Amino acid sequence: MINLAGRDLLHAWDKFVLTGIGLGLLVGVTLTMAGVYRGMVDDARALLGNSGADLWVVQQDTQGPYAEPSSLRDDVVRSVRGLPGVRSAANVTYLSMQVRRTAVTGDSGDVPARDLLGAADEVRAMVVGFETDQPGQPDHLIAGRHITRGHYEALADVRTGFVLGERIRIRRHVYTVVGLTRRMVSSGGDPMVFIPLKDAQEAQFLKDNDALVNERARAAANPTLNRPGIPGLLDAVLASQTVNHSVNAILVQVQSGVDAQAVAEPIRRWKHLSAYTRPQMEEILISKLIATSARQIAMFLVILAVVSAAIVAFIIYTMTLGKIREIAVLKLIGTRDRTIAWMILQQALGLGLIGFFVGKVSATFWAPLFPKYVLLEPGDALRGLAVVLLICALASILAIRVALRVDPAEAIGG
């Protein structure tokens, strides 16, 4: 008895394999899109884990430094450290910006930098200001050392492309990369650069030289701020305008055996601040911050599934039309309809298996080339295989209907 799938593999193997490769590329894109979403979730969890915090204290009525702007005075951390159950607490700042490689001479942070490769050599990064030996500091390095100086030293994630000893420019100051980390990224996938807290506070609100000159001129022209009888008033006002005492959050570590929620409650009630435990912060990042991206990826997955089904249906239908005479002969000799249907279904499932294998291999090879982290989980691969086989089975229905309607007389009268 003629086996339709076997016949195509023997006599039209090139068409069958090329169709499987084309379908496989679509499957590879589908698996990659799922991996992009998994990578976003993993980045969010890595961000929380790398901070080393059990509790995030932020501005009241805000959802934290990762989801929306938050501003606190840096002296608030003292009152938080004195709360029962708190083991340690530290200020931290976050600032997403372009960081550039620079060529400078000397160690002065105020020397204007000259770009080595121009604007194309910029790296989008999240600049983190942290306190040494406190929550927020990277817990491990893959190369170099931790920051030991109070100014102008930096730690960088390897995805920035920076190397040890390299000079980078953040605002008007120049920093030397003294250590490298791995998997230190923001919720958006941007690599992190760590600098001392005081430098980060200055960088967040640092104005250019022309703006500083204009502000000083305005203050000097204001008779309320520049009184003849109070000679030190203007200098005090100008000094306050160039110093920043704000931070974005306080990272809190609770004592062993203490419930983080029990520590957060008095902070919310008496300190007039918002406090989030790790599960709550994870909920904010995953369910709110990346929810729109997740829905967009889901739409792409649906579209890719529909396109894949249309391609498989068209190919199987075309192959079936090319075997009308063979199908008529099978019917003429008494072959059951379900046997013919199973042969066509075999062909569709074989095409799906080839496509899945090609797609899985393709996704595995090109995933590391993506600028953001792509996490390919075995569970997603198994679910993808089931979906591909289901799509191929459904796509074969049209071809099966055509085959079952073939008149056995066509085997004789063709």
Q: How many CA atoms lie within 13 A of 394 on its CB side?
A: 11
Q: What token pair was written down for 174? A: 């120049």
In order of 124, 175, 185, the CA distances from 99 in angstroms are 6, 10, 15
Domain ranges of the chain: 4-43+292-413
**What is the pLDDT at residue 168?**
92
**What is the pLDDT at residue 5?**
55
**What is the pLDDT at residue 319?**
74
**What is the pLDDT at residue 96?**
87
Q: What is the pLDDT along the chain (414 residues), one digit of tens a residue?
A: 445 556 556 666 677 778 788 888 888 888 888 888 888 888 888 888 888 889 999 988 888 788 888 888 888 899 898 899 999 999 999 988 889 888 544 444 444 434 333 444 788 899 999 998 888 888 889 998 999 888 899 999 998 889 999 999 988 889 999 999 988 888 777 899 999 998 888 887 666 667 667 777 777 777 777 777 677 776 666 666 666 678 899 999 999 888 999 999 998 888 889 999 999 988 888 887 787 788 888 888 888 878 877 887 787 777 777 777 777 777 777 778 788 788 888 878 888 888 889 989 998 998 888 878 888 888 888 888 888 888 888 888 888 888 777 777 666 655
**What is the pLDDT at residue 209?**
67
**What is the pLDDT at residue 6?**
62
**What is the pLDDT at residue 271?**
84
The answer to whether 190 and 46 have CB atoms below 8 angstroms apart is no
CB atoms within 10 A of CB 11: 10
327 phi/psi in degrees, rounded to 5: -65, -40
**What is the pLDDT at residue 119?**
40
Measured distance CA(8)–CA(320) in Å, rounded: 10
**What is the pLDDT at residue 411?**
61
62 phi/psi in degrees, rounded to 5: -120, 165
Amino acid at 336: R
The CB-based long-range contact list for 76-81 (8 Å cut-off, 24+ gap) reads 76/250, 76/271, 76/273, 77/247, 77/250, 79/271, 80/250, 80/252, 80/267, 80/271
**What is the pLDDT at residue 181?**
93
Q: What token pair was written down for 372? A: 């953001």
